[in-house]
A and B are shown apart, each in its own frame.
Chain A
Amino acid sequence: MSGIFLKISALFLLLIVAAGVDCPVWALTPEEIMPTPALEARAGALEKELRCPVCQNQSIHDSEAVLARDLRQVVRSKIRDGETDGQIKAWLVERYGTFVLMAPPMQAVTLPLWLCPVAFLAIAGIVGAAFFRRRRQV
């Protein structure tokens, strides 16, 4: 049963210690802020689409792990160098696998994920119709 017991990666990964747990929080450091608000918005948006491999249900934008900060710096310097979102994502996937993408890509292995909701809808329709037909005719 769940309470919402948040264990930040530090506690959960006691066995496999993620870097920097004993250091102060470094979310966005002053270093990282982009020169223009538009670039900052783009960086933020891209970061929200990328999963932190350490705090595995947070994006690198929200996560406070050191790896998340490192990856944010990489993303931001690549944006400054003019790379596209696709290129940046490919760089990350090359090193961390498709796990690092928040939205599962359209691959064979994720196809059921996209097809099942449709199937559920069809089943719901059939069930509803069956219920309706079974009622006694007035």
Chain B
Amino acid sequence: MSTRLRFATYALPLVAFAFLAALFAWRLGLAERGMTPDLLPSPLIGRTVPTFDLETIEEGKRLTSQDLKGKVSLVVFFASWCPECQIEHPQLIELGKRSDMTLYGMAYKDPSQKMAQWLAQRGNPYVAVGQDTGRRVAMDFGVYAVPESYLIDKTGTIRLKHTGALTADFIDGELLPLVAELNR
């Protein structure tokens, strides 16, 4: 084996390590921008909203997937026992005041009375809150944590999903620009 080739072989581990370190650094960079490894990409982006027909937390009313058509809506899966939901609630109150989007809630593993009380205490930004008993609708949406928010356009297509409490960065950086675009 020629000497150059031999020397090159000895340098291989260093080269391999450099790649590995770069990989780690890149992954860390992503994590710092909020893309932590436990967040799953949603296969539902770009697909039509799952069909559903649920009771709401108010007696006698219903919330169906048809109600979402014709407007830009934000569907939020949340619960009264979830601390992150409390944290994001003020942001949702603000979003609820806007005219370019409509907010709908989905109660996740939460009895209607409890949920109604919670909203009465903190303000209710939602036009309606579906009672997803059995959590089948949540599963159809691919919900795996609370809170989760889905932005749906006028044709009923899911355009954006956010897992975890809504942050100002996300709202200003991604949500509102997309809402503006969808309303054009």
**Complex Cα distance A53/B40, Å?**
8
Given A15-B164, A53-B144, A74-B139: A94 and B109 interface contact (C-beta under 8 Å): no
Is there an interface contact between A95 and B44, defined as CB atoms closer than 8 Å?
A: yes
Total residues of chain A contacting the partner, CB 8 A: 24
| B100 interface residue per 8 A CB criterion | no
Q: Chain B: interface secondary structure?
A: loop
Is there an interface contact between B139 and A70, defined as CB atoms closer than 8 Å?
A: yes
**Complex Cα distance A99/B42, Å?**
10
CB distance from A112 to the nearest CB of B (A): 13
Is there an interface contact between B109 and A93, defined as CB atoms closer than 8 Å?
A: no
Total residues of chain B contacting the partner, CB 8 A: 28
| A13 interface residue per 8 A CB criterion | yes
**Complex Cα distance A22/B80, Å?**
13
Residues of A contacting B83 with CB < 8 Å? 17
Choose one: B41, B109, B139, B146; the contact of A95 (CB below 8 Å).
Answer: B139
Given A17-B145, A66-B109, A67-B144: A99 and B79 interface contact (C-beta under 8 Å): no
Is there an interface contact between A19 and B79, defined as CB atoms closer than 8 Å?
A: yes
**Complex Cα distance A99/B83, Å?**
27
| A125 interface residue per 8 A CB criterion | no
| A18 interface residue per 8 A CB criterion | yes
Q: Which A residues form the contact surface with B (CB < 8 A)?
A: 12-13, 15-20, 22, 53-54, 56, 66-67, 70-71, 74, 93-97, 99, 130
Q: Which B residues form the contact surface with A (CB < 8 A)?
A: 1, 38, 40-44, 79, 81-84, 108-109, 134-136, 139-146, 163-165
